[in-house]
Amino acid sequence: MKLLTELFVAKDAEREEQQKSEPAPSGTDEKQDNSDLIGKELMIDNRRYLIESVGKISGDVSMRDITFQNNVGFPINRVEKVGYVRRLLEQAEKETQPEEKTKSPAVPTTETVAEYCCCLFILTSNKSD
C-alpha cells in the first residue's frame, strides 16, 4: 500500500511540472481581466451608459443609464454580457477614428469688420438711388 501511495505522489508531481511548463489553453484557467472596462461610457439604443462593474464569474457588465438619470433624477442599471459590451466599444472606437482624421483645420476669415461695414454701406446707398 505504501508503494502505491508513493507512486501516486510521484505521478502528481510529474503532472504539476508538466502543467507549469505548458501554456494554459486560452479561455480555460486564465480569465480575461475586465477591469479596464470600468468607468468607460458607451451608447446603446441612443442612451449613454457608464460601466460600473464587471462580474468575474458571470461576465455580466453592470451599467448605469446616465440618460435616464439626467432626465428623471435617479439611476437605473442595465446588465449585458462582457463580449457584447466589448464589441460595442470597438465599434464606437472605429466610428470615431475616421472622423478625427478627416477633420480639417478651420480656414481663417480675412474679412474685417471695417470691410464688412463698408460693403453694407455701399449696398444700402445704391438702393436709395
Residue 113, class by beta-carbon neighbours within 10 Å (0-12 exposed, 13-18 middle, 19+ buried)? exposed
What integer best gives the mean pLDDT of the chain? 75
pLDDT tens digits in sequence order for the chain, 129 residues long: 666 677 777 777 777 776 666 555 444 444 568 889 999 999 999 999 999 999 988 889 999 999 999 999 999 999 999 999 999 999 988 887 765 555 555 555 555 545 544 544 555 555 555
Confidence at residue 18, expressed as pLDDT on a 0 to 100 scale: 67
Give the angle 46-49-50 at the CA atoms, nearest 5°: 160
Residue 22's CB is within 10 A of a number of other CB atoms, namely: 8
**14-38 pLDDT tens trace:** 777 766 665 554 444 445 688 899 9
Provide DSSP, 68-113.
HHHHHSS--EEEEEHHHHHHHHHHHHHHHHHHHHH--PPPPP---H
Confidence at residue 81, expressed as pLDDT on a 0 to 100 scale: 93
Confidence at residue 128, expressed as pLDDT on a 0 to 100 scale: 52
